[in-house]
Amino acid sequence: MKYRSQPYTIAVLIPCLNEEQNITLLHQTLIRELEYYNTVQILFIDDGSTDDSSSMMSRLASANSNTGYIQLSRNFGHQAALKAGLDHARGDCVITMDADMQHDPKYIHELIRVWREEGSDVVYTVRDDSGKRTLKTFFSSVFYRIISGVTSTPVYAGAADFRLLDRRVVDELQKISEHHLFLRGLIPWMGFRQKAIPINVGERAAGESKYSAAKMVRLALAEPP
């Protein structure tokens, strides 16, 4: 269900590393999907891309009053890029998502519905990959089992950085000055009312995964890339 002329504002944050082939497609899709919302900000974070990503962001920002971008001085990693975006996010709720269309913008309606109607402060997505077994899903499930074994904080297997955060949660995250965060662990730990929705995660629209095996290990250790 879509909401016409709603009083609340939404912001969308998209960290990007070399996503020149996906940025325009994602932006067009967001504009179309979000036309009934008061989208005050579509904010790209360029995490040190070496392709044409930043000039594409700059063009989109000049042509669309609600679109902007942050240029990081080098590649700081996905989590640090998200944190930079959160520090500049406006909106009564803030949605974070990947640039490559694996986080389908069609799910944003459900994120907003759960936030508005069920009063959740955090609505996060979990990959519904029943049946799909790849090397990556295997390592991911091992990773979450290990993390869950060593910490009392719930870290949900299959949780993605595609989520909606209420303004109150964003305000708390802005108070944290640490930039090497593991948001998938930190956000569950923060409390608030949280709810998961299952999503299907498809293939990247274009380009290749920016997460090498080494980067995934560094993510697990909450180290910079």
Residues that bind Mg ion (CB under 5 A): 98, 100, 102
Q: Which of 75, 1, 7, 9 is nearest to 45 (CA)?
A: 75
Beta-carbon count within 10 A of 210 CB:
21
Which residues in 181-220 contact ligand UDP (CB under 6 A)?
209-211
Residue 121 per-residue DSSP state: S
For the bound state, the minimum distance from the C-beta of residue 19 to ligand UDP, rounded and expressed in Å, comes to: 5
d(CA 89, CA 112): 17
CB 8 within 8 A of CB 93: yes
CB 201 within 8 A of CB 129: yes
**With respect to ligand UDP, which residue has the nearer C-beta, 16 or 164?**
16
Spell out, one character per residue from 80 to 109, where the chain touches ligand UDP: x when CB under 6 A holds, - when not: -x----------------xxx-x-------
Q: Kindly indicate which of the ranges 12-20, 63-71, 175-183, 188-196 contains the residues binding ligand UDP, using the contact rule CB under 6 A.
A: 12-20
Q: Which of 98, 47, 51, 12 is nearest to 224 (CA)?
A: 47
Q: Is 68 in the site for ligand UDP (CB under 6 A)?
A: no
Q: Is 125 in the site for ligand UDP (CB under 6 A)?
A: no
> For binding to ligand UDP (CB under 6 A), which residues are involved?
15-17, 19, 47, 75, 77-78, 81, 98-100, 102, 209-211, 225
